[in-house]
Structure 1
Amino acid sequence: MDRLTFWGTGDSMGVPRVYCECGVCREARTSGRNRRLRSSVELTTGDGPLLIDCGPDWKAQMERFGRREMKRVLMTHAHFDHMAGLPEWADSCRWTKNTGRLFGPEEVLATVRERYPWLESSLTFHEADQGLSFGGWTIEPFKVPHGKNGFSYAYRFAKNGYRWVYCPDSINLSEEAKAFFSGVDLLVLGTSFYKEEFPYHTRSVYDMIEGQELVRELGAGQAVFTHMSHDVDLGRTYLLPPNIRLAETGLSLELGWEA
């Protein structure tokens, strides 16, 4: 059965924060349950793996999972924490004489080209504004608001009646977006805080309180919260419904229905 594995579950700064001595950051430096690299997931199918996002921790993530090559990456948006590993990936492709395939909406790829104009010597870029297919999955993009940080893309995957959405960076989803996400079997949603106290207009991602309501409103069967800051302590019990869990590095979920 196809699987979804969490390579990174942290927000843009990761955990621990280099400057911080809070309890979560101290724990992340010792036993390490709260140690969170930048958010990324891998979809594994019979056609191989597809990595979603390639942030600055890509090399450490590859080492952790014992991987020596990567053939495909799908981008959600062109922010540092989601694309800063692309030069290292391209360099690995150059040395192994493989050509990586980078997928994403045209405006995301355009920003990547502007930031890293040399990548296409080792990678091929594939526009995915109309969606793509991989491993039997139909993958559809949807542009979502990222608050003060602009925009991101969420992806809706469907195969044999099973549907799931990956949406690591969003807030204040439109009714059209909610309709796009409605009724999925699994929602992976970015929630940087349990309850974020900053003014709403200054924020860029849902918190867990809002995320719970969104899961209920969408009628999602299951949900996993990711993209978490040092506000979130995996050793703490949060008041979450039984169909919602917090992501941890290495969490692996089966996707689809059992025969």
Structure 2
Amino acid sequence: MTRLTFRGTGDSMGVPRVYCDCKVCEEARITGENRRLRSALQIEDDELGQMWIDCGPDWGRQMEAAGVRAPERMLITHAHFDHIGGLVEWADACRWLERRGEAYSPEEVILEINSRFPWLNRQIHFAKADDDLTFGGWKVRAWKVCHGKNGYSYAYRFDHDETGRAWAYCSDAIALKDVELQPLYGLDLLILGTSFYEEPYPFDTRSVYDVKEALELLKELRPKRTVFTHMSHDLDLRRDYGLPDDVQFARTGMSIDI
């Protein structure tokens, strides 16, 4: 069995936003239902051990919540700060624990990370994920996706040959073309980033699908189950958005078994 736990479900600013006094941010400060750390996913599996996707600036708090001192390995989707800001802290933890971390990402992402933090190589081994990888019984494929005005990101698809199960993590994407959508077909689970319910800003200034666009996309992709993550303060988990039965919003600490 593979267990996925959402350690972070927020967008680049998280919720509450430090500058904001909207109803969602105020609720997040008081009761915490809408409190969202930057997006990160914890994967636990008897065959592959423990793996995380992304290592943002909330990494230390997420590790404490998980009761974990250091992950065995990481997959990195892209080199934006909300997805790599915790790598420095992870490297320091590796130093004190006298171990070497493993991080996997396509080469262009590794080059960006190393250009900003060249000392991370002392404690973290960065391995290319341009070709398929295998962890336990899972074959893992990375492919480049459009991140709108923010350039590019990578999504990851996991396939298990023995069980036939398949799931994908695509946190930062918008306006995907057919070739980018192909790996998102035939999934038992799709984890997809949606920052707003209906984003009001000009399309050329945007970087992530909104919920209404994602729901239209799901009519084409038809995954068995979908979870929306990477959410801004526009989305209020106290509200009923009338999502289909097979679609839900991620909540901090929520786990899914595959």
Return the TM-score normalized by structure 1.
0.97
Q: 1:13 matched to which residue of 2? A: 13
Following superposition of structure 1 onto structure 2, how do residues 236-255 of structure 1 map, counting pairs within 5 Å? 236-255=239-258
Post-superposition, which runs of at least 4 consecutive aligned residues in structure 1 deviate over 2 A?
A: none
Percent identity of the aligned residues?
55
Which deviates further from its counterpart, 100-109 or 172-181?
172-181
Report the Cα distance in structure 1 between the residues aligned to 2:146 and 2:198, rounded to whole angstroms: 19
Distance in 1 of aligned mates of 2:159 and 2:241: 30
Which residue does 2:35 correspond to in 1? 35
Does structure 1 residue 196 correspond to structure 2 residue 199?
A: yes
| Alignment-derived partner of residue 186 in structure 2 | 183
Which residues of 2 match residues 1-259 of structure 1 at below 5 A?
1-46=1-46, 47-159=48-160, 160-255=163-258
Deviation of the 1:234 alpha carbon: 0.4
Q: Which amino acid aligns with 1:17?
A: R
CA deviations over 1:16-56 (Å, ceiling 9, x no partner): 01111111001100110100000000111113111000000
Structure 1 SS opposite 2:167: strand
Partners of 2:114 and 2:181 in 1: CA distance? 31
How far does the alpha carbon of each residue in 1:57-91 deviate from its partner, in whole angstroms, 9 at most, with x for none?
00011111111122201100000000000000000
Q: Give 1:111 deviation, angstroms.
A: 0.5
Which whole-Å CA distance do the structure 2 matches of 1:71 and 1:186 have between them?
Answer: 24
Q: Which moved more, 1:229-238 or 1:64-73?
A: 64-73
Deviations 1:87-146 (A, max 9, x none): 000000000001000100000000010010000111111001002111211000110000
Amino acid in structure 2 at the alignment position of 1:188: I
Partner letter of residue 216 of structure 1?
K
Deviation at 1:216, TM superposition (A): 1.4
In structure 1, the residue corresponding to 2:235 is in which secondary structure?
coil
Aligned residues: 255
Structure 1 residues not aligned, in runs of 5+: none
- The letter of the residue matching 2:188 is D
Question: For the residues of structure 2 that align with 1:106 and 1:67, how far apart are their CA atoms?
Answer: 28
Deviation at 1:183, TM superposition (A): 2.0
Q: CA deviation at 1:177?
A: 1.6
Task: Encode CA deviations 1:204-224: one digit per residue, 9 max, x unaligned.
Answer: 000000011111110111100
C-alpha RMSD of matched pairs (Å)? 0.7
Q: Distance in 2 between matches of 1:142 and 1:219?
A: 20
Q: Which residue identity is paired with 1:70?
A: P
Deviation at 1:185, TM superposition (A): 1.1
Structure 2 distance, partners of 1:249, 1:209, is 22
CA distance in 2, matches of 1:183, 1:198: 32
